[in-house]
A and B are shown apart, each in its own frame.
Chain A
Amino acid sequence: MHTKPVPVPDEVSAPFFDGARDRKLMLQHCSACDGWSFPVRERCPHCFAAALTWRQASGRGTLYTFTIMHQVMNPGFASAVPYNVAQIDLEEGVRMVSNVVGIGNDALRIGMALDVVFEDVSDDIRLPKFRPVAG
């Protein structure tokens, strides 16, 4: 039985994974122009200032697009297919790739409102995923 791949935080990404462990979605924010970026940038992609710090994001977004993966590309996903991979447009203006959970693949609709939720994938790692906003 293979398990799904588990990310290994490095120095740069530690704030993201530390935040996720505390059930917070952390993104880089520019203190010069108030812009957000994802996944990790050296400078702000909007104003090019070297003024990025990690800040908690709202966790709210909408489904921009998605696919249902049928091909097993990694043995860890052999029992997961068909599963969704989704692009979520966050309120902060970044487009994040993740999975939508708590809903059947057939019910996914572009534009639906989503909210971040955190899923334990190992003792140390929680991953931000997204679920439909109730109501």
Chain B
Amino acid sequence: MANEPKGAIVGLGVTPMGKIYGRRSVDFAAEAIALALDDAGLQKSDIDGLLINANISGDIDVRAQMILGFQDLTLVNVMSAYGSTAGSMMQYACMAIREGLAKTVVLVYADAPLSPSRGAGQSYAGPHRYPLGGMVGLRAAYGNFGANAEYAMAARRHMHLYGTTSEQFGTIAVGQRQWAQLSPWAQMKQPMTMEDYYKSRFIAEPLRLFDCCLVSNGAVAVIVTSADRARDLRQPPVNVLGYAQCAPGDNLRTDRHPAVETGAKQSGEIAFRMAGITRDDIGTCQLYDCYTYTVLVTLEDYGFCAKGEGGPFVADGKLGPGGALPTNTGGGQLSGYYMWGFTPLSEAVVQARGQGGERQVPRNDFVLVSANGGILNYHSTIILSPHTSG
């Protein structure tokens, strides 16, 4: 059958997030996995697959299996397509389970780049990340540090082509802060107005501080098994109905525009077809939101509005609480917590289960999850559902 579940998510573990110092990534990973096992009603000995998301700190690798005490795994690897990896991991876990290579697979992302002496900006773009040898040295020489500058340039290009405004970016930031106030896991709980948004300092114009994601210490673990096995476990199964990747390629060619025409388009088309649904069936989006701009351009490329109309599309607040297309309902990476693709994935599990409490969306039949990595160079899509078909 074309649209039977590819697999099911049966466990979710989310550690405390943010400026939590003195713990290593693998320690956060252990806590998230323990939480996920408990959530699923599984023992560690039930796990026969472990997929680890390589992190920015580079301090977690395949030896985590031994540190965590997993035995006789029949599937183990470290994967990286930067921020988009969560979706790729889900694909490979489900394919391995369907192929009989493993029965129950843990997916984990853990990172601890923040320290008392190294804040969010420096952790991702400080001098330690910019070698000077060869052509790579040009980045530092020109002052082109981190993703902020690159995404700012993408956002500026979009504004130039389509008339997108800061006000529209701000609407996304304010809406997600409203969602964060409803989530027990979110880091940023204080209210934010449009005035607050405009008052936040420029990081890389046109992006302000509140256009940019958080950086968090913490971990998220997700446990995946077959849809059949999921029925006997503790939580309502969250079925994986569709998934896809797209990597548009080099952005240093004048015939390509990957920052304004992203991999969400092709990846979304494949995933929707696989799930046997259309975007009209989607009740909530959990979109990778390293920046406000990312949400806007991803909505366009998934086809929720025409290319270039993302600004007017979001301007009525439809992404926020009570809106027509509730999106990033845990506050996302902007106001919730920053765990790469595991931020949207974790919130999607909560919503698909119907466990969102105050922030539960009214329509959770089909949940769209995106992740992207690099400067919109890598994209993954997952479609989740409490139902076993589309």
Q: Which residues of A contact B (CB under 8 A)?
A: 4-10, 12-13, 16, 38-40, 45, 64-71, 73-75, 77, 80, 82-83, 85-87, 89-90, 93-99, 110, 121, 127
Least CB distance from A37 to B in Å reads 8
Report 17 cross-chain contacts, Cβ distance below 8 Å, ordered by A residue. A6-B141, A38-B252, A40-B134, A67-B206, A68-B205, A69-B143, A69-B145, A70-B205, A73-B121, A74-B127, A74-B140, A80-B143, A82-B202, A85-B153, A94-B253, A97-B142, A97-B252
Query: Which of A73, A110, A127 is close to B125, meaning CB atoms less than 8 Å apart?
Result: A73
Listed residue (A10, A40, A80, A121) with the most chain B CB atoms within 10 angstroms of its CB = A10
Least CB distance from B155 to A in Å reads 8
Q: Which residue of B lies closest to A81 (CB)?
A: B143
Also in contact, A98 and B142, with CB within 8 A (given A5-B132, A40-B135): yes
Collect the chain A residues with CB atoms within 8 Å of residue B144's CB: 85, 97
Interface 0/1 of B128-143, CB less than 8 Å to A: 0010111111111111
**Docked-complex contact A39 and B138, CB < 8 angstroms:** yes
Q: Which residue of A lies closest to B259 (CB)?
A: A65
Query: Which of B141, B143, B157, B203 is close to A110, meaning CB atoms less than 8 Å apart?
Result: B157
**Docked-complex contact B135 and A73, CB < 8 angstroms:** no
Least CB distance from B299 to A in Å reads 21
Collect the chain B residues with CB atoms within 8 Å of residue A6's CB: 132, 137, 141
Q: Which residue of A lies closest to B160 (CB)?
A: A110
Least CB distance from A112 to B in Å reads 12
Interface 0/1 of B223-262, CB less than 8 Å to A: 0000000000000000000000000001111110000000
Listed residue (B125, B154, B204, B254) with the most chain A CB atoms within 10 angstroms of its CB = B254
Bound together, the chains give a CA A34 to CA B191 distance in angstroms of 56
**Docked-complex contact A10 and B121, CB < 8 angstroms:** no
Q: Known A-B contacts: A71-B203, A86-B153, A127-B141. Give 12 more (CB < 8 A).
A: A5-B140, A67-B148, A68-B202, A68-B204, A69-B145, A70-B203, A80-B143, A87-B153, A89-B254, A94-B252, A110-B156, A121-B141
With an 8 A cutoff between CB atoms, is B149 at the interface?
Answer: yes
Collect the chain A residues with CB atoms within 8 Å of residue B255's CB: 93
Collect the chain A residues with CB atoms within 8 Å of residue B254's CB: 64, 89-90, 93-95
Closest 5 pairs between A and B when the two form their complex, measured CB to CB: A7-B137, A73-B145, A67-B152, A68-B205, A5-B140
With an 8 A cutoff between CB atoms, is B322 at the interface?
Answer: no
Query: Which of B140, B148, B156, B205 is close to A7, meaning CB atoms less than 8 Å apart?
Result: B140
Listed residue (A66, A73, A94) with the most chain B CB atoms within 10 angstroms of its CB = A73
**Docked-complex contact B132 and A39, CB < 8 angstroms:** no
**Docked-complex contact A93 and B205, CB < 8 angstroms:** no
Bound together, the chains give a CA A110 to CA B130 distance in angstroms of 28
**Docked-complex contact A10 and B133, CB < 8 angstroms:** yes
